[in-house]
Every structure is written in structure tokens, then in C-alpha cells.
Amino acid sequence: MNMFLLLLLVTYIVAMVNSLFAYNVPYNIKQQFLDTDKPLNFTAHARIYGQRAVEYEVQTEDGYLLGLHRIPGRRGLPILLMHGYTDTSDTWIVRGYKSLGITLASLNYDVWFGNIRGNRYSRRHVKLNPDKDASFWDYSFHEYGHYDLPAIIDTILSKTGSAKLNAIGHSQGNTIFYVLGSTRPEYNKKINVLTALAPICYLNNLPPPLSKIELYGYEIIGALMKLGVNEIFGDVSPSGRAAKAICERPEVGYAICVLGAIFSVSGYDAEEFPPYIFDVVIKHYPAATSRKNFNHFWQVAVRERFSKFDYGPEKNYVEYNSTIPPDYNLKAVTMPVVLIAAKNDKVSLISNVEILNQQLPNVVAYKIIERDLTNHVDFVWGSNMYEYLFPYIFAILRNFQ
């Protein structure tokens, strides 16, 4: 009986907290979201916002099949948008008419939306079965940058006849360009300018709860290995199904998954990410990553170095001819880079962006958003991105034509 009363009390408190943040949103603002009760794929989602999207299948050198989306346009160079951790191309359009992808498309830019291996649109391989072959998941952000990005970039340049493209990456979506530029330097000349939103490279001195995950990362990774968990937060994975089961419950989803989880990691900003936005986002996010990718980011945080994957001394020697993994050579990343950071971003700390700014040889602009509460997810899901973010992106596109 005591346990029942406790559960009842917790449910009541959660519901009350949820109601406190259920803002009275003007009806016309809510109508920007035309999504249905069922999750739509990218092309169907773009269609309800008046955009005709097409999808391409891209094959990487190592056999992964990636979904690449495009909303065709005629203005300027093609623009490639690359999503962040456990995300997909959907992230750039889920905010409807106020999203960056739909906004750029409405301005007649030729917008391309990449997907990295393993996510909802790229869970395929010429030989490997993601549900049966553990080797399908043997990758981290290194493979995203070394294999996936070249295949995506070459496809875009081939389809458009352009020699270069503009790139915009959010979080991990810009990390992989640093891998690309350092390991395949010939691709630097194919990037007209990279706009790095919430730049992720160094992960030093992260605040809680990420610092707690960092502290117990070895045990977490060991447990996942013992359980045979290779896919994290995928649609059919236990972690993904559990996340959806909790987060899609209207009475507790926002309180637990946003107030309790997303904001604790990314920075608190309920004004920019109220419940009615979350209700759309949760239909599309999260969308899978690998245990090895989580491990690689953990290694970067613990070692305080932006280095290749650490396999242990023996295998490191086979892979790298060294017992320790080498650092990525950021001095080789000669593509023009614009860094855009936020003071309330608890993942992309200003102190770490400063280190990246010093390491990259061709940072052409570095901007810290004036709005104090802007956090890590506001760069893709914020209600008012058009006020505090889009003007900088438009200026970059004008200045680097």
C-alpha cells in the first residue's frame, strides 16, 4: 500500500510540473505544425509544408546505404545540413515553417539533408543485417566523417555539377567535418564554408549529469557489451522502445523526457521548447547510434583529447602503429569554418569551443549567441530561431557565395 501511495504521489507531482510548463500558445502558432498523429517520413513531412522532397540512396566505400534527402532549389551553392547525435534529417524540418530546412527551401536554396549510418534512414548495408550482424554497428563518429560524409558530398556535387557546397552541421554534425578534413584533406576544397552550430570537438569539464555519465562510462560500456547491446535508441532497440513508451505519454512525457532529461543535459530553456513542440519532435527523435560511438565520445571526454578510437594497446599498435590512439590533426582542417555557440549550452561549452577556435586554422567567424538561455537543442528545435540564429546563417550564405 505504501508503494502504491508513493507511485500515486509521484504521478501527481509529475502531472503538476507538466501543467506548469504547458504554455498558452496562440492558435496560429500551433498551426505551424501540421504533422499527423503517426510519424511521417521526411518526404511526406516536407510535403505538408509545401515542399517537394526527393530521396537518394548513397553507398559508402565500406558498403553502408545512406538515405540522402533533397528539397531542390536554384539559389546559390547546394547546402548540406548534417544532424547531430541519435538524430536524422527530420530534425531540420520538424519545426515546420520556422525550421531551418523549410526556411532555406522557401528561399529557393538547393537544400540537402544527410543521414549517417545506422539511423532510421540509413539502417542498411550491402551485406550486413543490422538485426543479426554485430559488425554492422562497428563504427563511431570516425566512420561518419571518413566514409559517410565523402559519399554524401560526392553525390551532391555529382548531381548538381557544383565544385563546392555549403555545409551546416549541428553538434555531432560538425564533429564529423573535423574528422573529414583531417583524415581526407582533399575534401577541404569541396567545402565552401562550414557553419558549425553548437560545435562539438573537445568535451572537457562537462557539468552534471554528463560528468556522472563520464565518471561511470567504463561500467556503462562494459554492461552494454555483456548484454550484447550494439544499437542504442534505435526504433526497434529496447532502449529506443523504452524511450518512446515513456516520452510519448502525454501526462508525463514532457516532464520526464524534457524537464528531467533533455534540459538537464542540454541546458534549461522551456520558453523555446514547450510541450506542443516536443509532441512533434518525439515522433522523430531519437533515431539510433552505436555503442561504439557512445564509447568514442566518452573516450574524448575522459582523455581530454580529440583522438581516434582507443582499442587498447595491442590493437592500437595494429591500427595506428602506436599503443595510444593518435589525435586528429585539426591543422589539416583547412575548410573555412564559422563557429556559433551559446552560453547556456551544457554540451558544447564555451571553454571547449575556445580550444577548438584556437586549433582550427581557418575559422573565419566565431559568434556567441546573445540570448542567454539558448541551449544545445535550440539550434534545431527552438521556437524563435529566426530571431537569434537565422540572421547569422543568412549572413554567412551571403558572404560566402
Q: Which of 207, 142, 144 is nearest to 347 (CA)?
A: 207
Q: How far apart are CA 104 and CA 390, in angstroms?
A: 10
| Per-residue b or e along 358-386, where b marks 16 or more CB atoms closer than 10 Å to that residue's CB | ebbeebebbeebebebbbbbbbbbbbebb
Task: Tell me which of 296, 376, 378, 383 is the catalytic residue.
Answer: 376
Q: How far apart are CA 119 and CA 132, in angstroms?
A: 16
Per DSSP, which regions of 207-302 are E strands? 231-232, 289-290
Q: Which of 381, 271, 269 is nearest to 33 (CA)?
A: 381
- Name the 3-class secondary structure at 77: strand
Q: How far apart are CA 207 and CA 374, in angstroms?
A: 17
- Pick left, alpha or beta for residue 25 (phi over 0 → left; psi -120 to 50 → alpha; otherwise beta): beta
- Name the 3-class secondary structure at 50: coil
- Inter-residue contact 276 to 178 (CB < 8 Å): no
Q: Respond yes or no: is residue 345 known to be catalytic.
A: yes
Cell numbers at 239, concatenated: 532502449
Cell numbers at 386, concatenated: 529566426
Cell numbers at 396, concatenated: 554567412
Task: Tell me which of 140, 171, 182, 383 is the catalytic residue.
Answer: 171
Task: Tell me which of 90, 310, 345, 378 is the catalytic residue.
Answer: 345
Peptide bond preceding 209: is omega within 30 degrees of 0, i.e. cis? yes
- Inter-residue contact 97 to 105 (CB < 8 Å): no
Q: How far apart are CA 383 and CA 78, in angstroms?
A: 26
Q: Respond yes or no: is residue 19 known to be catalytic.
A: no
Q: Respond yes or no: is residue 83 known to be catalytic.
A: no
Q: Would you name the residues annotated as active-site residues? A: 171, 345, 376
